[in-house]
Amino acid sequence: MSPPLWRIGLAFTAIYFIWGSTFLATRFAVQALPPFFVAGFRFFLGGLILFLLGRARSSEPLTHAHWFDAAKLGLLFFVICHGAVSWAAQHVPSGVAALLMASIALWTAIVERLLQTQTRPGGRVLFSLGGGFVGLAILVIKPESLAGSTQAQTASLAVLGGALTWAVATVLAPRTLRPPSNFTCAGMQMLCGGAILLLGSALFTPPSLDRVTSVTVGALAYLTIAGALVGFLSYTYLLQHFPPTKVATYAYVNPVVALLLGWALAGETISAQSLVASLVVLASVATIVLSRSAAVSPRWPNSRPVPAEQGA
């Protein structure tokens, strides 16, 4: 049975616009707290809430295999990817980080083709991906945006690496062993990733409350409730019903959202160049969402089957 259109619409809205705003919120939070603590706190707390809600609705036993697959995805999604993004927020503007994370869409298409998944992107999708990157190139061709210290350049490379690991996890997620409840599934992945990040922060950069302000608390609360709870739950839900390449189109909308927020909240100027780029990006997203991916046989002979319906 196909999911209701209103639910699909809300889920895409969440990953398109809420996640686009989390780059600025992360930048606010890491001004007063260590980046690994910020990422670990939001995902551990969000994961704990989701896990408890999921277990209240479904009491199916969880095996070591469930937790192993959750830890594997948690490492890719949160420890490597969001750990890198949180650290980079100290050195690069939020809009630049969002632009670099837009490479998720391209990485996802490449990983899908390499692994020969069931939903390999077709030529029209790949052409649209290329068009999206033309729009991103128009946005990012501003040398002053990435100029500066060696740390800024290293941070940019870290974000690109994080985007790659997120794409790998996106393609692998539908092939992993999952509990029936989407709440439980998302919660387990976030718990595992958040716990590792908090442990790393405690060992290397323990948090201090000396510089914490109301802005810090608000940013951390928003990252936890909107970004982690609502956003990732929507993301895992969409992966059950759409090819990874289509779900990954959020990475093209996020930079546009970040650009508008920078203008509204940080006084950044939106040029004609930026407006043209945004139109190109949105047109590419629309083409990808309306396209169909070519089905192929998977290369993984021992992959675990994905249940046809996994309720949230």
Give the largest Cα separation in the chain, rounded: 56
For 72, counting Cβ atoms within 10 Å of its Cβ (0-12 exposed, 13-18 middle, 19+ buried), the class is middle
> What are the tokens at 299?
């290369």
Q: Is 212 inside a domain boundary?
A: no
Q: Is 214 inside a domain boundary?
A: no
Q: How far apart are the first and last CA of the chain?
A: 14
Query: Distance between CA atoms of 308 and 149, rounded to whole angstroms?
Result: 50
Task: Report the relative pairing of strands 294-295 and 119-120 from DSSP bridges.
Answer: antiparallel
Find the DSSP H helices in the chain.
Answer: 5-13, 19-29, 35-57, 64-74, 83-88, 94-101, 104-115, 123-140, 143-146, 150-172, 182-204, 214-222, 233-239, 244-247, 250-266, 272-290
- Count structural domains, the chain: 1
Q: CA Rg, the chain, in Å?
A: 19
Q: Is 234 inside a domain boundary?
A: yes
Q: Is 303 inside a domain boundary?
A: no
pTM of the predicted structure, to 2 decimals: 0.81
**Each residue's pLDDT tens digit, 65-91:** 999 999 999 999 999 999 999 999 888
Whole-number pLDDT of residue 147: 40
Q: Is 267 inside a domain boundary?
A: yes
Residue 158 and residue 87 in contact, taking contact as beta carbons nearer than 8 Å: yes
Whole-number pLDDT of residue 146: 45
> What are the tokens at 167?
């794409």
- Higher-pLDDT residue of 122 and 43 is 43
Residue owning tokens 């994905």: 306
Q: Among candidates 181, 280, 165, which has minimal Cα distance to 237?
A: 181
Q: Among candidates 312, 220, 238, which has minimal Cα distance to 13?
A: 238
CB atoms within 10 A of CB 175: 17
Whole-number pLDDT of residue 300: 38
Between the CA of residue 45 and those of 55, 209, 259, 261, what are the distances in Å?
15, 18, 29, 26
Q: Is 304 inside a domain boundary?
A: no
Whole-number pLDDT of residue 64: 95
pLDDT value at 234 more than 70: yes
Confidence band of 248 (pLDDT split at 50, 70, 90) = confident
Out of 75-84, 105-114, 232-241, 251-260, which region has the weakest mean confidence (pLDDT)?
A: 105-114
Q: Is 300 inside a domain boundary?
A: no
Q: Is 246 inside a domain boundary?
A: yes
Domain that holds residue 161: 5-207+221-294
Percent with pLDDT over 90 in the chain: 46
